[in-house]
């Protein structure tokens, strides 16, 4: 018997049938179904009769179903943490990079899942180390770690060292380190390159740099990156994926590869080239 946890946002009325469809199929397969306490609190009327509520996703779970978009997937990853429990992303809205199963394809996808027709992809995570207690000690990110100016304040100056060797000083609105997974997100919007998910690299991408000859730089994911920041108002933001905290100038910042990975369940027939081609509109002749 499989033990599966469900996590997600508040389920909209037009998506309730999809949640019912998922639960019915899991029951049919004899799955031990659990719901995260946060998911249950967001859907008290829908899940009020459910008894299996958990405050943590431990290593004894076989997998997690993330019901929502890519943001929900990242939230599910925080529940999994170092346990490396595989996550299946079911998108309740539009197709995403991480939550790649469309709600209209749930029936077919779950059929393939229970037939074992899927792969588990390992994705690199970033680890943030500082001399401060940040992010409730969940100091890892699947997409990127970003250092950003606060509000509309002046640009910040970021000195970057790679393996204790001075690399560059960036005058910019910010600077980020992105994983191959994150290369399709914020980094891409700032001019960063697209990277295949299994690439063994990170990319350092400046955000609105003052020096126009500064470009994104790809580095090995074995690199240790250290940053020193100066700002006029003595504070700035550090973000890990969708989370952010305000920091003072005297913080020590080190970013490197995390000692654990994220595990993504990819259903047969669903792959990265197809997703990126559809999301970015590649291969379509729009001249007419």
Give the start-to-end residue ranges of the domains of the chain: 3-124+261-280, 126-257
Most confident of the following: 81-90, 97-106, 130-139: 81-90
Q: What is the pLDDT of residue 5?
A: 98
Asked whether the whole model's pTM tops 0.85, one would answer yes
Q: Are 151 and 246 in contact (CB under 8 A)?
A: no
pLDDT (average), residues 169-173: 95
Which tokens go with 179?
Answer: 């994983």
Distances (CA, A) of 253 to 38, 131, 275, 277: 31, 8, 34, 36
Asked if the domains 3-124+261-280 and 126-257 are classified in one and the same CATH topology, the answer is no
CA–CA separation, 163 vs 132, rounded Å?
A: 21
Q: What is the pLDDT of residue 172?
A: 95
- Write out the CATH class of domain 126-257: mainly beta
Q: Are 180 and 123 in contact (CB under 8 A)?
A: yes
Q: Which residues pair with 209 in a beta bridge?
A: 172
Among 24, 60, 62, 70, the active-site one is 70
pLDDT (average), residues 173-195: 96
pLDDT (average), residues 28-46: 95
Q: Assign domain 3-124+261-280 to its CATH superfamily.
A: Probable inorganic polyphosphate/atp-NAD kinase; domain 1 (3.40.50.10330)
pLDDT (average), residues 214-218: 96
Question: How many CA atoms lie less than 13 Å away from 88 in the CB half-sphere?
Answer: 25
Q: What is the pLDDT of residue 241?
A: 96
Active site residue 70: yes
């Amino acid at each position: 018997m499989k033990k599966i946890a469900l996590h997600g946002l508040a389920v909209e009325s037009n998506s309730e049938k999809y949640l019912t469809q998922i639960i019915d199929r899991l029951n049919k397969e004899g799955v031990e179904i659990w719901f995260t306490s946060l998911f249950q609190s967001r859907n008290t009327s829908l899940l009020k009769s459910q008894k299996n509520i958990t405050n943590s996703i431990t290593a004894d779970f076989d997998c997690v179903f993330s019901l929502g978009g890519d943001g929900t997937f990242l939230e599910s990853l925080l529940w999994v943490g170092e346990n490396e429990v595989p996550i299946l992303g079911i998108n309740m809205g539009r197709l995403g990079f991480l939550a790649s199963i469309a709600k209209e394809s749930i029936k077919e996808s779950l059929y393939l899942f229970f037939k074992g027709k899927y792969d588990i992809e390992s994705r690199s995570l970033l680890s943030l180390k500082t001399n401060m207690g940040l992010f409730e000690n969940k100091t890892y990110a699947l997409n990127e770690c970003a250092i950003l100016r606060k509000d509309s304040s002046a640009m910040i100056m970021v000195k970057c060292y790679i393996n204790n060797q001075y690399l560059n000083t960036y005058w910019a609105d910010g600077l980020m380190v992105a994983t191959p997974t994150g290369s399709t997100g914020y980094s891409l919007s700032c001019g960063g390159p697209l990277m295949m998910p299994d690439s063994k690299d990170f990319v350092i991408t400046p955000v609105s740099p003052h020096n126009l000859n500064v470009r994104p730089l790809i580095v090995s994911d074995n690199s240790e990156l250290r940053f020193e920041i100066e700002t006029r108002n003595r504070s700035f933001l550090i973000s890990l994926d969708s989370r952010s905290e305000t920091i003072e100038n005297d913080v020590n910042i080190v970013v490197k590869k995390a000692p654990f990975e994220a595990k993504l369940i990819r259903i047969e027939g669903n792959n990265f080239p197809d997703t990126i081609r559809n999301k970015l509109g590649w291969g379509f002749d729009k001249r007419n």
